[in-house]
Structure 1
Amino acid sequence: MTAEVHSFQTEVQQLMNLMVHSLYSNKEIFLRELISNSSDAVDKLRFEEITNHNLLKSEKENSILIRNDKDNNILIIEDNGIGMTKDELMNNLGTIASSGTKKFLEKLSEQDKKDSNLIGQFGVGFYSAFMVAKKIVVESRSAHGGEAYKWTSAGDGTYTIEPSSKETRGTTIELHLKDDEKEFIDDWRIRGIVRKYSDYVTYPIFFLEKKEDGATEEVRLNKSTPVWARNKRENKPEDYQELYKQISMDWKEPLLWEHISVEGLVPFNAVVFIPTEAPFDLYTRDNHGLHLYVKRVSITEKCKELLPEYLRFISGVVETDELPLNVSREILQHNNKLPQIKKQIIKKVLSSLQNLANNDSEKYFNFYKTFGAVLKEGFHFDFEQHETLSDLVRFKSSKTGKDGWVSFKEYIERKADGQKEIYYLTGPNFESIERSPHLEALTSKGIEVLFLIDPIDEWFIMSYNKHGEYNLKSINKGDLDLNGVGKETEEEKKNEEKPVEELVGLLDLFRTKLSDEIKEVKISKRLRESACCLVADENGMSAHMERIMKATGQGMANNNKRILEINPSHNLIKNLADRKNKGADETTLNEWVEVLYETALLSEGSPVKNPGTFAKRLTKIMEMASGK
């Protein structure tokens, strides 16, 4: 019988060009698509067999077989599934975006849909094979009986259809590969693609392997039920560890993992891992995400929609049967199911970390030292999780020492009498702020101060400035009123009672000499040992934040002037005030004022404008003080 020639029923050349050149990010996807189609066909047969006992039988188990004819550069994928009639071949392969699978889904009951492993939705995955094939031959025989037919096309706008001698049910697809696509005929390439994309397809995928003696053997390429789809009790720790190493390429054991199984409106299974050590690109990479499977087929290895950036150190796998896909299966349609899955994963991960913190503080501290700064990013991006995140963050403080940590809960439990705020100080590291003059009054009163020394902390505090009923108060910004808070010594009471009239002249001198550098000069309530310090306005930018901004090229003009506070009880201040009141030479007094201001800059971690001038000025003052 002469083959019938037909034209595709759509703008085929335009669509072919789109699929071949634009739709898929890499050519190897074609094999995933054809395997998925074969899996669909076997799945359809399984459903039909339940109610129809007159279907053609097969001597083989329901499966998929891949063969390669290297001599003729032909790759063959065949299944013993439901097969297609002549009309179905024409409708399903002759019309792009006419999907037999989609029509089949429409016939299934809602319960059947939940159990089905059907994945095809748009009927174009088959055409991805034209990326690598110059000609495709499809032979199919329907399980309902009748004659077999052969469909042939070179992707040129037409196809032919004719009777076939195929005797068994199912579909065989022959890809006559292009000359420059011979890599896809190689055994190792086929194995790699199956392992990458179709390792967990429900039905067995066999490969016809040729032995050295010329014999052939069908070797199974895909695994059985994956770790995440099994009951937790069926898995051993080694199963999870092997999965982690496979998906993360990290050969160290994970710190912990969570196996998540969720029922309900959007059922899914997942296994997520927290690593022991940070990846080298933790702060630079933007390819975070979880490996997404839909009905056992790998869709994308880095699905960002399933994981927030502040949990980007996590790796794992998610599988769902409920996710709609777009035509390429690589870019997910906008839908309300991904956010629901993401929300469940975030909740489970944070709960797991909380359990770790409660039950193994040493292990949690090791985690926090590595990933705590990243976790704090969640305060800026995930307001909904503020309460949970606030239970997870830890800080160094004026009482923990360099190696200790304190939580908000612990801080509040040991707060001073009368304390209604949580006090903190920002800086680049522990050493730079542990001796800060801003701590002096609080330390003398037994008040603990949190040290915010992560680069993210300046932004963290903007997003989280109140914990429960306690406001977070910077001790180097604004006024510091400690009346009625903590203990108070007799010396402090005396200092508070001392008159400041004698300091008026010195304060005016500071204001005049430093008018270009500072906003105001005030008597300090936070100093006990130091002569002076710089503080920002209550809503101003801290010195540490200013340095960060300058380091990133966002420094502002000299409009972030700070306030200079002086300690009225310090002997140096009292001596200078006395000299000023007695009419001492202002040239000499100005030298002292400059040095005091520059030492205040140094004590807060800021550089002096001219180190050379500062050194000479300091040497001169030391020379005068030594009596020479």
Structure 2
Amino acid sequence: MKREGQISVNSKNMFPIIKKWLYSDKDIFLREIVSNGCDAIKKLESLQGIGEAQLEDGYQPKVIVTIDSEKKQLIVSDNGIGMTEDEVERYITQIAFSGAEEFLEKYKEKSEESAGIIGHFGLGFYSAFMVSDTVEIETLSYKEGAKPVHWVSAGEDSYEIEDGTRTEHGTTIIMNITEEEQEFLQESRIREILHKYCQFMPYEIYLNPHDEERPVYDKDGNIEKNEDGTEKKRIVKPLPINDIHPLWLKAPKDCTDEDYKAFYQKVFMDFNEPLFWIHLNVDYPFNLKGILYFPKQLNRMEVMPGQVKLYSNQVFVADNIKEIIPEFLLLLKGVIDCPDMPLNVSRSFLQNDGEVQKIAQHITKKVSDKLHQIFKNDRPSYEKYWNDISAFIKFGCLKDEKFYDRMKDILLFKTIDGEYKTLEEYPKAEGNKIYYVTDENLQAQYISMFKENGLTAAVLTHAIDPHFISLLEYKNPEEMKFLRIDADLGEALKVSQPEAESEDAKKAQEEENNKLIECVKACLPDEKLEYKVESLKATEIPAVILLSEYARRIQDMNKVLGESFAPEGQVTLVLNSENEIVKKIPSLTEENRKLVCEHIYDLALMAHKPLSAEQMSKFIARNVKLLELLAE
């Protein structure tokens, strides 16, 4: 026989869960309570706007946070709509009943102003129990003839309600802080939390406000005196801890460059000026406002993370939520305000929300549009910015195919001559080869030889560049092939031994080269090393090391995996037949030949990669020995 029943929830069992698991960060309780205060003010202003409430003259909406260390109380008070006893019973004692939702439903046709109300779930108030033994409410409704109400609960299955003492409309939440959470009675800690979550809330917030007496100074900096000789005093009113009119809410046309820079420094404590910025201001098809800054990269060898703050109606929600901000845009700094985003946002909600995906796509498009605008209208500035923004753009191309398609025509390559070329403009070598440099200091020898031969190479020194060039080769297999500058020097420079005049001369030249190789090979311990003799135009360079592009990429990949591997037969020592020292190697004594060959090899190796500790020790010892020989 089937029976139907109703699932019941015991509040006594719910409160331990609320206290421990309602929010991942415990300090968020203060954001919830202050947000509720702002909602209460917003509701009152909305009712006043449709003629259902009358505000007193000189009404100043505000939320006041007070710490009472003696009583171990943290108190949040607003002068908003307040509650009647019936409303306290309905909104507070029914867990998850949303007063905000009921208010929006009731007045949505009468007032557009109500759209700014923050709360959605009705659980925010109960976050106070995460840090409190008991929570009290003192409230007085704006309604004429309403009586003040006092409510108190220890967060179990019971509460007490009676007449209150409040004389002005609004609500006061009194949190009696537990022994374990005494940090929330420290002014510095509360100020930190308010700054984090409430820095841009829409109504003024004051922390422990009080008037101050300060001396009055004359134009010369002296304290002015009263007739009786006492110091003149002036009353200084307290300042709110928040900015109720953040820059992102203003129209871009009303903001100056100085405004943007000052806001950047204020929010991110970064006193390096941003390169440029994008002001987002969208009302349709979704509501989105914000500012994204392109910061100056202090370390151009690494991908430096940025910080994008997500707000909902000026209330801080979280940092760097990649479901809304595409991962590669997290290299930027900025603020995004999505008023339709709930404060209790979850990753699963964001991943499955179609509007969120549209917002992310819109932000990406606005960024690419801005970059195209700068490239088209002010290419010198775009080139000037490139070293700072290239990592962000390359990362974006790797992470987002649509972003790559938008950006491919304005990707730049800086050459060893200091010029900036797009892929279309870049002068490719035979076979669509693009030679590149990964370390301008280490590979200075190769760069010098390229320049002497009228060739160029791209400077790709960032950690992201190996992945980026692989992407370009994958996207353009017939149009480009990347080779590091030390991968195939003979092919790049088109160098070789001068053509012999006769077969006998050719044979003699070949025998001479083989003899030179055998002499050098006998002096060097590396059996995997291959040898070539070529005529390099740079006569001062005795030898260079070459490693095939394929082998080097395999080697780099294995380093990432914590291994060290170079395929056999891929490393080549190219001896310069035009160098005077190399020419003399066969005629040297055995001892001096070994000394010179090892030294030439190490010099070539140093231009290819850093020496190991053991190699460097031997190199230094050999230098000392060479100096001793010169001194004899």
- After TM superposition, the score normalised by the length of structure 1 is 0.72
Structure 2: which amino acid aligns with 1:391? I
1:511–1:382 Cα change, 3 Å: farther
1:157 Cα offset (Å): 2.8
Determine whether 1:465 maps to 2:473. yes
Q: What secondary structure, in the 3-state scheme, does the structure 2 residue paired with 1:81 have?
A: coil
Cα distance in 1 between the residues matched to 2:625 and 2:252: 75
Aligned with 1:59 (options 34, 56, 72): 56
Cα distance in 1 between the residues matched to 2:385 and 2:161: 63
Structure 2: which amino acid aligns with 1:300? A
1:431–1:325 Cα change, 3 Å: same
1:125 Cα offset (Å): 1.1
Cα distance in 2 between the residues matched to 1:59 and 1:506: 104
Cα distance in 2 between the residues matched to 1:344 and 1:111: 31
1:228 Cα offset (Å): 0.7
Cα distance in 2 between the residues matched to 1:477 and 1:618: 28
Q: How does 1:242-253 map to 2 (within 5 A)?
A: 242-253=262-273
Aligned with 1:562 (options 570, 580, 597): 570
Q: What secondary structure, in the 3-state scheme, does the structure 2 residue paired with 1:518 have?
A: coil
Q: Give 2:227's aligned residue.
A: none
Structure 2: which amino acid aligns with 1:267? N
Cα displacement string for residues 154-210 of structure 1 (whole angstroms, at most 9, x for unaligned residues): 213322334657676654433344567677678887666555433433345567844
Structure 2: which amino acid aligns with 1:457? D
Q: Give 1:415's aligned residue.
A: 427
1:316 Cα offset (Å): 2.0
Determine whether 1:395 maps to 2:414. yes
Cα distance in 1 between the residues matched to 2:91 and 2:204: 25
Cα distance in 1 between the residues matched to 2:168 and 2:618: 95
Q: Relative to structure 2, which stretch is displaced further, 304-313 or 77-86?
A: 304-313
Task: Check conservation: 1:326, 1:333, Cα contact below 8 A.
Answer: no
Cα distance in 1 between the residues matched to 2:103 and 2:599: 84
1:372 Cα offset (Å): 4.8
Q: How does 1:39-438 map to 2 (within 5 A)?
A: 39-47=38-46, 55=52, 57-59=54-56, 61=59, 63-66=61-64, 68=66, 70=68, 74=73, 75-81=75-81, 83=83, 86=86, 88-105=87-104, 116-140=115-139, 148=147, 149-162=149-162, 170-178=170-178, 194-205=194-205, 209-211=209-211, 222-276=242-296, 278=298, 288-301=306-319, 303=321, 314-326=332-344, 333-336=350-353, 337-338=355-356, 340-349=358-367, 351-352=369-370, 367-369=385-387, 372=390, 376-386=394-404, 388=407, 391-397=410-416, 400=417, 405-409=418-422, 413=425, 415=427, 419-428=430-439, 430-436=440-446
Q: What secondary structure, in the 3-state scheme, does the structure 1 residue paired with 2:92 have?
A: helix
1:313–1:366 Cα change, 3 Å: farther
Q: What secondary structure, in the 3-state scheme, does the structure 2 residue paired with 1:33 have?
A: helix
Cα distance in 1 between the residues matched to 2:374 and 2:382: 6
1:507 Cα offset (Å): 9.2
Q: Give 1:503's aligned residue.
A: 510
1:163–1:383 Cα change, 3 Å: same
Task: Check conservation: 2:133, 2:177, Cα contact below 8 A.
Answer: yes
Aligned with 1:476 (options 486, 490, 493): 486
Cα distance in 2 between the residues matched to 1:125 and 1:371: 41
Cα distance in 2 between the residues matched to 1:193 and 1:62: 24
1:245–1:181 Cα change, 3 Å: same
1:33 Cα offset (Å): 1.1
1:445 Cα offset (Å): 5.1
Cα distance in 1 between the residues matched to 2:248 and 2:281: 8
Cα distance in 1 between the residues matched to 2:491 and 2:389: 35
1:295 Cα offset (Å): 0.8
Structure 2: which amino acid aligns with 1:424? Y
1:174–1:350 Cα change, 3 Å: same
Task: Check conservation: 1:58, 1:169, Cα contact below 8 A.
Answer: no
Task: Check conservation: 2:64, 2:209, Cα contact below 8 A.
Answer: no
Structure 2: which amino acid aligns with 1:447? L
1:283–1:610 Cα change, 3 Å: closer
Task: Check conservation: 1:289, 1:306, Cα contact below 8 A.
Answer: no
Cα distance in 1 between the residues matched to 2:507 and 2:212: 100
Task: Check conservation: 1:424, 1:449, Cα contact below 8 A.
Answer: yes
Q: Give 2:33's aligned residue.
A: 34
Cα distance in 1 between the residues matched to 2:623 and 2:400: 50
1:591–1:564 Cα change, 3 Å: farther
Q: What secondary structure, in the 3-state scheme, does the structure 1 residue paired with 2:551 have?
A: coil
Cα displacement string for residues 267-322 of structure 1 (whole angstroms, at most 9, x for unaligned residues): 311123334563x8995976x42122101212235555555665556322221112
- Structure 2: segments with no counterpart, 5+ residues: 1-7, 214-234
Cα distance in 2 between the residues matched to 1:97 and 1:496: 98
Task: Check conservation: 1:34, 1:77, Cα contact below 8 A.
Answer: no
Cα distance in 1 between the residues matched to 2:238 and 2:460: 62
1:238 Cα offset (Å): 3.5
Structure 2: which amino acid aligns with 1:201? M
Task: Check conservation: 2:64, 2:207, Cα contact below 8 A.
Answer: yes
Structure 2: which amino acid aligns with 1:137? E
1:303–1:571 Cα change, 3 Å: closer
Q: What secondary structure, in the 3-state scheme, does the structure 2 residue paired with 1:39 have?
A: helix
Cα distance in 2 between the residues matched to 1:99 and 1:228: 29
Cα distance in 1 between the residues matched to 2:597 and 2:236: 93
Task: Check conservation: 1:255, 1:276, Cα contact below 8 A.
Answer: yes
Q: Give 1:452's aligned residue.
A: 460
1:229 Cα offset (Å): 0.3
Task: Check conservation: 1:421, 1:473, Cα contact below 8 A.
Answer: no
1:153 Cα offset (Å): 0.7
Q: Relative to structure 2, which stretch is displaced further, 605-614 or 288-297?
A: 605-614
Q: How does 1:613-628 map to 2 (within 5 A)?
A: none
Cα displacement string for residues 550-572 of structure 1 (whole angstroms, at most 9, x for unaligned residues): 6x792425645524264696477
Cα distance in 1 between the residues matched to 2:360 and 2:404: 16
1:489–1:560 Cα change, 3 Å: closer
Cα distance in 1 between the residues matched to 2:29 and 2:391: 42
Task: Check conservation: 1:306, 1:339, Cα contact below 8 A.
Answer: yes
Cα distance in 1 between the residues matched to 2:198 and 2:616: 65
Q: Give 1:4's aligned residue.
A: none
1:285–1:521 Cα change, 3 Å: closer
Q: Give 1:6's aligned residue.
A: none
- After TM superposition, the score normalised by the length of structure 2 is 0.72
1:229–1:115 Cα change, 3 Å: farther
Aligned-residue identity in percent = 24
Q: Relative to structure 2, which stretch is displaced further, 517-526 or 243-252?
A: 517-526
